[in-house]
Amino acid sequence: MKPSVVTIEPNGHFCSDCGVRGSAVCSSLEPAELREFEHLGRRVHFSSGETVFSEEDITTSFYNVLDGVMRLYKLLPDGRRQIVGFALPGDFLGMNLSGRHNFSADAIGAVTVCQFAKAPFGRFIEDRPQLLRRINELAIRELSQARDHMVLLGRRSADEKVAAFLLGWRERQLAHKGPSDTVPLPMSRQDIADYLGLTIETVSRTFTKLERHGAIEIIHGGISLLDPARVEALAAA
């Protein structure tokens, strides 16, 4: 939201010991290519609430999330907001056809990204089809997630939305940390509401209701799934 004051890592870094080496776009590259790739990206830090890029901005860079969580959202002229997704480490951002980002991205808590200037990155891809294939895979995965989310937004009740959100978020955490019934929620209630197409009051009331029924416990910075089976039944997959 506030003007972005970024911190650029002064010293070099090595892709080979990058935390997302195995899951991000770069997982498609050979060690030799990786060394060349290393020179294209620079690590950039954003602190909580900073905007990494805005919807209407002309795309000058692509981003590979290394650490932290970002909210990806679109605004209507009157200020209504829809969060179209959350980006986690390994996610690749910035692909578009129009030449402009078609959503905005803010850091939720501290975030580190690997930033690539558009032109050199485009040239690098040019003769590396396996990198293109990897980007394509990520796009197809996101498309599938987007369609699932359309079902949630268009056809699910508030209870189902919240339950599905908790399970979905746990599922995504699973890849990074291990499996757990404790779901950390770094985003605000307002973020959750804007992701689920609800109001903050409804999200809050639904959490409280789930807690009263013994399905979850609201803990500091997250939710504990006391009765995962109950929550799964509510999400009605």
Residues near a copy of itself (CB under 8 A) are: 74, 76-78, 80-82, 84, 95-98, 102-103, 129, 132-133, 135-137, 139-144, 146-151, 153-156, 194, 196-197, 236-237
Whole-angstrom Cα Rg for the chain:
19
Q: Which is nearer to DNA, 1 or 32 (CB)?
A: 1
According to the binding rule CB under 7 A, does residue 201 interact with DNA?
A: yes
Rounded to whole angstroms, how far apart are CA atoms 34 and 40?
Answer: 10
Q: Which is nearer to DNA, 102 or 199 (CB)?
A: 199
| Alpha-carbon dihedral 111, 117, 17, 112, rounded to 10 degrees | 0
Q: Which is nearer to a copy of itself, 58 or 151 (CB)?
A: 151
- Residue 95 binding: pick among a copy of itself, DNA, none (C-beta 5-8 Å cut-off by kind): a copy of itself
CB contact set of 91 (below 8 Å; sequence gap of 6+):
24, 64, 65, 138
In Å, how far from its chain's centre is CA 18?
18
According to the binding rule CB under 7 A, does residue 218 interact with DNA?
A: yes
Locate 15 and state its tokens: 């892709």
According to the binding rule CB under 7 A, does residue 190 interact with DNA?
A: yes
Q: Which is nearer to DNA, 101 or 170 (CB)?
A: 170
What are the C-alpha distances in Å from 5 to residues 8, 53, 109, 187, 222?
Answer: 10, 12, 14, 21, 28
According to the binding rule CB under 7 A, does residue 82 interact with DNA?
A: no
- Residue 151 binding: pick among a copy of itself, DNA, none (C-beta 5-8 Å cut-off by kind): a copy of itself
The residues in 120-179 that bind DNA, with binding defined as CB under 7 A, are 157-159
Nearest to 13 by CA among 46, 33, 41: 41
